[in-house]
Structure formats: C-alpha cells, structure tokens
Chains A and B, each alone.
Chain A
C-alpha cells in the first residue's frame, strides 16, 4: 500500500497532541492522594535530570566539553544565576573549549 507523507505527519501530530492535551483537559480537580501528589511533584526533576545526563555528553563534538558544561551549568545554577545566563554561558564554554580540543 502506498503511504502518503501528509498522512504520516497528521498521525504524528494527532498522537503527540492527544497525549499532551487529554490529562490537562480531564484532570480538573486537585489530586488529594498524597502518594500521587508526591509522584507528580517529583516527576519534573527526575525527567529533566534523566534527559540531561548522559545526553549532554553526547550532544557536543567532544564528550569532555559536554561534561565540563554540565559541571559548569550546575555550579552557575546552584548560585542562582537565571535561566538565560546559565544557558548562554554553557554554550560559550563549549565553544571556547572546543577551540582547543
């Protein structure tokens, strides 16, 4: 059977959107269950941590610059530097490091 690219893209959109929209539309009340509340409270930290490491090391040309950017970013964020600065300075560090690696 011949597949069409627009149909493929439409399927990608529908599945991806439903997954995101349905919980937002259906969960309208405050969840009272303590375990469930705690679970949802911890989800963002765990997800973002899992997505950051080890992916950051594979994202750069050299694993060393990625690893150093991770440590650098953690230090900057620890001392309360805002989002944009942490992000831009990490990029800058990698750019400078990779001029020498």
Chain B
C-alpha cells in the first residue's frame, strides 16, 4: 500500500518538475542557440554539438570545451579545464545531498547527478523541506530537450534569429535566478547582505585588474567558497537548513 502512495507522490513531483522546467527550457533554447554557433565555429557537426549538450548540460563547460577542441588541445588539458570550470557543481551537489532523505537509493542519487545544472539546482534546492528527486528528473526531462534542440538549431541556422530576440531571451535565466534568491532575502537579512556582497565582489572581479583575467568558472568557484565560508564562520545559520 505504501508503495502505491509513494509512486503517485513521485508522479506528482515529476509533473511539478516538468512545469517548473518550462521557463528553464525556454531560456536554454536561447542560450544554447549561441552555444551552437560557437560549436559550429569550432568545427563540430550538429550531431556532435547536440551530443555534447545532452550529455554535459553545462554552458560554461561546453563553451570552454569547444574552444579547446577548436585549438586541438590534448585530452588531459580538456579534462583539467572541464574540472575547473565545472567545480561549482561539486558544491551544489554537496548542498543538494543534504536535502535528500538518507533512504534515497544510490541509483536515484546517480540519476540526480544528471540534473545538476545551475538552474535545475536552483529550483531543486528551493523546494520546501526534503527534495523528491523526481522533481529534478521532471525538470531535466523538459529542460534537456530545450538545451539540445537550441544547440542543434544554433549549428544549423547560424545567425537567422533576430539579435533583439536572442538578447531578450538571454535575461530569462537571470530572471529565474532572482526569483529563487530574492524572496528568502526578504525574510533573512544575512542572505540579503550576502547577495549584495556577492554581486559587488563579482563585478569587482570581472572588471578590476588583476582579477579580470580569471576565467568565469574559476571566478564563480573562488567567490562562492570565500563568501560562503566567511559567512558560515561569522554568522552560522540556525536550524533552517531545510528551508533553503
């Protein structure tokens, strides 16, 4: 009997994930379009670029990868760079592990690993209380086709989409990030301060020498570790971990 309730609960979460994945998928379509153009410039076919997209689901990681492929880099160089650019996902996965019930099977956890993108992580960590992995599965099922299709279209159609449409669509992902981080900031002053500090330092590191040469993936990981660690030492949170 318990089994039946569980599977209907999984289905509900899956559907919820599908629904919340729609804006992600649309945003991905636009971002991946420009990724596809980069892949084409690196000499990849639509099939190769789509395979990279559905397997990796990582904008910065793929952009970087295509650049190295175009440059004929060694396999080791590619592996090291992918590790550095994508290291932030390790932190996200560690954070996500704390939202899983301890009875969540290894297989479910391994599948969940396929869903950890910036955006799907964002909505998964924002679920109240424990995370049912089927929520993330639903989101990735709708988001991955958008990402992959966008990449393929970018390779095939090049610059056909008007640039003002691409420009408008490209803020969609950031709008989503804001919808995730701002409402908790309204209730928690520490989070509000952290967001302000993070944005400030991020801008500083992007534009001010000597930091401005640092690549984007590396900047994200340095700032995330430094700011979160300092915050954890200076003002450790009370028992609200599950409310993330």
Q: Could you list which residues of chain A lie within 8 angstroms of chain B, going by C-beta atoms? A: 3, 5-9, 11-13, 15-17, 19-25, 27-31, 34-56, 59-62, 65-66, 69-70, 73-74, 76-78, 80-84, 86-92, 94-95, 98-99
Contact = CB atoms under 8 A, between A and B. Distances in A.
Contacts of B58: 16
Contact of A24 (B97, B176, B224): B97
A36 B232 contact: yes
25 contacts: A6-B48, A16-B57, A20-B93, A22-B90, A23-B96, A24-B113, A27-B98, A37-B237, A38-B237, A40-B94, A41-B232, A43-B92, A44-B181, A45-B185, A45-B194, A53-B199, A60-B171, A80-B183, A86-B178, A88-B175, A89-B175, A91-B172, A94-B167, A94-B168, A99-B164
Contact of A95 (B68, B72, B164): B164
Nearest to B180: A48
Interface residues of B, number: 102
B231 A38 contact: yes
A53 B195 CA distance: 10
B174 A52 contact: yes
A84 B26 CA distance: 10
A68 B102 CA distance: 43
B178 A41 contact: no
A34 B176 CA distance: 30
Main secondary structure of the interface of B (DSSP, over half): helix
Q: Which DSSP category, helix, strand, loop or mixed, fits chain A's interface?
A: helix
